[in-house]
Structure 1
Amino acid sequence: MEPLTIPNPERFSRALGLSFKASNSNGKIWVFVEEGADFEVEDDSDQVLHGRFTSPRLRCPTMISVVYAKCTRGERSILWDKMREIPLATDSLPWIIGGDFNTILTTRDRVGSETNRHAEMIDFAEAIEDCRLIDPGFDGSDYTWAKNGLLERLDRVLVNEPWTRLFEAIRVTKLPRFASDHGPVLVRCKMKTTPEGGKAFRFQNIWTRHEEFRNLVHEDWEAPTEAEGLINLQIKLSRIKKTLKRWNKEIFGNIHANLRASEESIATAQADFEANPSPRSRTDFNREVVQYILLLKMEEDFWKQKASLKWLEE
């Protein structure tokens, strides 16, 4: 996180629902983690904060490096050297590094300027190669930064080979810009799982966010069963389980697929607004943003609940 504001980690911690763990030497990089997780700083500098991340969700520690690069090529050379040092101390642990690198990697990462940045691109590419890092790809907008008609992909995420073995899938999504000229980057990693038996019924917290949920449960529960005592209770529980499963499939479907579809819609709306900044296109874009935020909160509820169940199981 790049706050660029008066340091007040407690306020951000309350807003995010996460614990503040560290900031780098110049206060431009902050790290927050969920309850039960930890981040121990191993290297702190102006352009990168590097540390060891542990969580009950993960079977081994991981190394995380957060970048906020300087604006000039000479200053960034210090960052490239620092990146080359990190793999020597990671003990082959999974490593992810990401943030604002303040430079592009290819000519496709920039539109709106003819400035020659070939030397800077070579510096960045050589650092990535020396560190044996992999770009997992991305979806969303092609660019993460925009100003005065210039669009660039300055923010990115890179991982090493052990990281790809730890997770079954890695998805990097470039989110829309809101109050900044940078768009945030969301990284989601899917843990490898082993097949198990039939799925048990689990109440999903995300259901409570839907306006129809309370009435649905009330009407189904109050419907007569023509039975009494424990038999009555058993029938009602069995019936509400089937009702909620059917309702979940019809209304929510696959929440991750819905979120991907929303991301595509919001990217289209953003592109339409940038091409034609009319009141109508702004309204369409804002509507897509509201829908996306709601879906994002639902997915957050889903992962929080799943993580809690996994923790209890272990």
Structure 2
Amino acid sequence: MMNIDLKGEKFTWFINPRNGFVTREMLDRVLVNWEWRRLYQNATLTALLVIGSNHYPLVLRLEPKEKFERHFKYEAYWEDHEDCEKIIKQGWENNENKRNKWEKLQEKFKSCKKELEQWSKKTFTRADKKINQLKEEITKLQNQEFSEQQQEMIKDLN
């Protein structure tokens, strides 16, 4: 049996500090045999952020991450913004000279999509980026020596 190397964190478990002392260990592992490893050569094991537990969740990925094409999604919350209607009209009125009505309609949709995407990036903060930033802060705090103040900061960030 062999251990799959852990990406990210060095530890999979910790105990809250008592008397200012923190214990961190690598308790959780994924063991495989050579046959399995040969079949899944791209397998990776990653420790995620600890939230609400003292065990780091482990994720085993058998295939490498693939890039995927993002599809346009109209967000309902855009309608609450005072500029949304103006942006849609602006995109709709950008019209190239196309021969038939179908091509004109397709161009209008593409133009609206482009305008909305650019406007959204400038206007709205992305929650996923903020969440990732907070996770990084939690990880930094968890990798330092614990203090009561740090525990409170981790609690607040969670």
- Give the match for residue 28 of structure 1: none
- Give the match for residue 221 of structure 1: 88
Q: CA 1:166/1:201 → structure 2, altered by over 3 Å: closer, same or farther?
A: same
Structure 2, gaps ≥5 residues long: 96-100
- Give the match for residue 235 of structure 1: 107
Matches within 5 A, 1:1-314: 132-140=1-9, 142-147=11-16, 148=18, 149=21, 150-161=23-34, 162-163=36-37, 165-166=39-40, 168-178=42-52, 180=53, 182-189=54-61, 191-192=63-64, 202-203=71-72, 208=75, 215=81, 218-223=85-90, 224-225=92-93, 230=102, 233-243=105-115, 246=118, 259=132, 262-271=134-143, 275-278=146-149, 281-282=150-151, 284-289=153-158
Please state whether the residue corresponding to 1:168 is helix, strand or coil: coil
Q: Which has the higher contact order (CA 8 A, sep 6+)?
A: 2
| Greater share of residues in strand | 1
Structure 1, gaps ≥5 residues long: 1-131, 290-314
Q: CA 1:249/1:232 → structure 2, altered by over 3 Å: closer, same or farther?
A: same
Pairwise CA distance, 1:138: 2.9
Pairwise CA distance, 1:144: 0.8
Distance 2:109 2:71 in 1: 13
How many percent of aligned residue pairs carry the same amino acid? 18
Pairwise CA distance, 1:231: 5.7
RMSD of equivalent CA atoms: 4.5
Distance 2:65 2:46 in 1: 20
**CA offset digits 1:76-130 (Å, max 9, x no partner):** xxxxxxxxxxxxxxxxxxxxxxxxxxxxxxxxxxxxxxxxxxxxxxxxxxxxxxx
Q: CA 1:282/1:208 → structure 2, altered by over 3 Å: closer, same or farther?
A: farther
Distance 2:47 2:10 in 1: 8
Distance 1:271 1:193 in 2: 26
Alignment-mate amino acid for residue 148 of structure 2? P
TM-score scaled by length of structure 2: 0.55
Please state whether the residue corresponding to 2:6 is helix, strand or coil: coil
